[in-house]
Structure 1
Amino acid sequence: MRTPAPSGAAAAEAAAAASVEAYPRIVATLIRVTGDWALAEDCAQESLTVALERWPTDGVPANPGGWLMTVARNRAIDVLRRATVERRKLHDLALLTPDEAQPEPEVGQDVVDDRLRLIFTCCHPALAIEARVALTLRTVCGVPTADIARLLLVSESTMTRRLTRARTRIAQAGIPYRVPSGPALTERLPGVLAVLYLLFTRGYVADGEPAFADEAVRLARLLDRLMPDQSEVAALLALCLFQHSRRDARRDAAGNLLTLERQDRDRWDRAAIAEGLVAIDRVRHDGPYAWQARIAACHATAASADETDWPTIARAYDALADLRPSPVIALNRAVAHGYAYGPAAGLVLLDAARAGGGLDGYPLAVAVQADLVARQGDRPRAAGLFREAAAAVGSTAERRALLDRADELAR
């Protein structure tokens, strides 16, 4: 059964909606069966192209995902037959034909394994981090190569070569197409989560590309659905949702960046916050993403900036600093203690964080000092520090925000 033939725009919308779930499933399954990454991606993409051609005339099938899988599978069979590939692969592909008249199948273990294999292979530590990001966007998310090139500020030909090298590296290094188990899963999962969080932060930073953050949230939801018993996966999803909930409130009408305390909290995405709270409620272990998610939850649930539970945030940063010490965590810990226990306490921790040299040349450390000094009442010195930070920061939006703060203090 099909719906009536939609318009071209409606068909494109239906194909896009179906591809969100179908594309990674098709690619993952075809890679498992054929072992050919490029073939799997090309056939999955071609199935979407065919949908855009046929659905405006024929209507949207009852099972769009199954229809796309059938088209991709048939295309793969044609390619392999022309290449006279062994009969076993053709036989396995023939078994993949779903009946588009039947309901969409439940996500069974085979489908789960295929999609997890794809994610873990794309995020394998043998690949450079940029390759992991690009391969995840292309293969798991189905983002076109041209769009990935634009997001990563390189030419399409350069990105094509990077993706080709990444796939070649997987083949030559014998990277297994599987989900690790036992201790190996514990060792590999943080690397997968790091790729997802890197994607998110690239979209969330002041001058970032929002598409990165959107894809990271979608991937975090997928990974959480496929690995519901992994506490840190749920924590990462919660962390991304809490931060992403503020995306529409981070700038004023003129496009200027707003700090957290100046944002209109009525513009925060309450559905995302609620989803994050459900996710964080399933967190049972105190990993690094769990602590960061709890910190983000304190901000997301505070009715106003003045009602933020800074003592709880400070204690969470204490735990996070013990678990995963770094200069940036030490800097954020100084901020939290400055708000929880007064600016003098924050400046003491800031001096300690700077002592190791890890924050040398980091403009946000100067901005934190400026904020703490301003709260102590030394407005002229704070204004100078904000200008110093603005001169060193790379982001145009952040520079403008820091200079605005300096101007306010100088009045």
Structure 2
Amino acid sequence: MTDTLTQTALPPLPDLDAIREAAAEIDGQVVRTPCLPAPKLSQLVGAEIYVKYENMQVTNSFKDRGALVRLLRLSEEERRRGVIAMSAGNHAQAVAYHSSRLGIPATIVMPETTPFVKVQATQARGARVVLSGETLAESQIECERLRAEQDLTLIHPYDDPDVIRGQGTIALEMLEQAPDLDMLVVPIGGGGLISGIAIAAKALRPDITIVGTEAALYPSMWGMLRGESPTCGGNTLAEGIAVKNVGKLTYAAVRALVDDIMLVDEPSLERAVNAYLTLQKTMAEGAGAAGLAAVMMAPERFAGRKVGLVLCGGNIDARILASIMVRELARGERIVALRVVIQDRPGVLGELACTIGRLGGNILEVSHHRLFLNVPAKGTSVDFTIEIRDAAHAAELITAIEGLGFSVTRLEAAESHF
């Protein structure tokens, strides 16, 4: 977001007392989420991992906290006129949900390209949704126009003292639930979450280490701290933290209190989402898994430490989640895709299938390609997607198929049709 959506005069950052006040204000209105040990993740990365499950909030995101604190601070006149926010994701749902509970009219401006399921979810929580622009930057223009025209109060997603102190309540709970944590790993988008957590945690435990994580495609805070203007853009799994411009307040907090920022790549985000699902049996969106992704990318850095991860959101599309699971099976040598060139005559495909089955391979999909020009006119190319035990099992299958006189090419999982 650009400066038109931030305060023109920089207000002071909240302190520990302000965050404690926020905790009292929202007590009973948001979920006090658990912070639990994760032995399987600990074994995976070689550190003692604790997970704060903010995906258990009503809107499945930490955004409930900051949005509610800001809404509770509105005057009666501001409540009557209503509020406005610009978001395509979790902030939209949090503002919509708590505004509806409090009887405050809410308008959410979303890009026209926002998936219908997100638009529907926001409307279902009681907000008026305005679709405008192809991108968030274009939606921002409409958000500013409506705010001025209708005299609405902006609920900023991160660069607001009340939002920051609301997010800081997470740290209060974590250090009460797991007092001897010595490191917190926190995703960074605009910076509201890590700012609030860092303010509270450093006040309570000056020796604690705070590490932020950003998607490598959107290294906004990382670049700003280094005086650089990195290129931000691309299709990231962590769209919830894909922010090109961080806040002024949040930058000040991160610069003063955060020890380091790590950039996580897309394969690591996929691995982390999959690990939460398969090992912890919980849903994490890409942004929510960014902390775990950092630990999995550089386990030596966290080895032997007692690390608290903030699973900040669990709103992930089911289709994308299914794709991630299959891709991780391929990366883990549990699925293999093979292209076999055979004679186009009766019985050959059955012979191949019997060979694969005899050796313990489970065929998930078969696809024929008769029009490939690199295949003889009397031949055909057949793609098999096969569930296997491990890499050695894949090699055994390939050797057996080649032993039948067929040419075999191993494909990347993305090249198969599965």
The answer to whether the superposition gives a TM-score over 0.5 is no
Structure 2 length-normalised TM: 0.29
Higher RCO by CA contacts (8 Å cutoff, separation 6 or greater): 2
More helix by share: 1
More strand by share: 2
Structure 1 length-normalised TM: 0.29
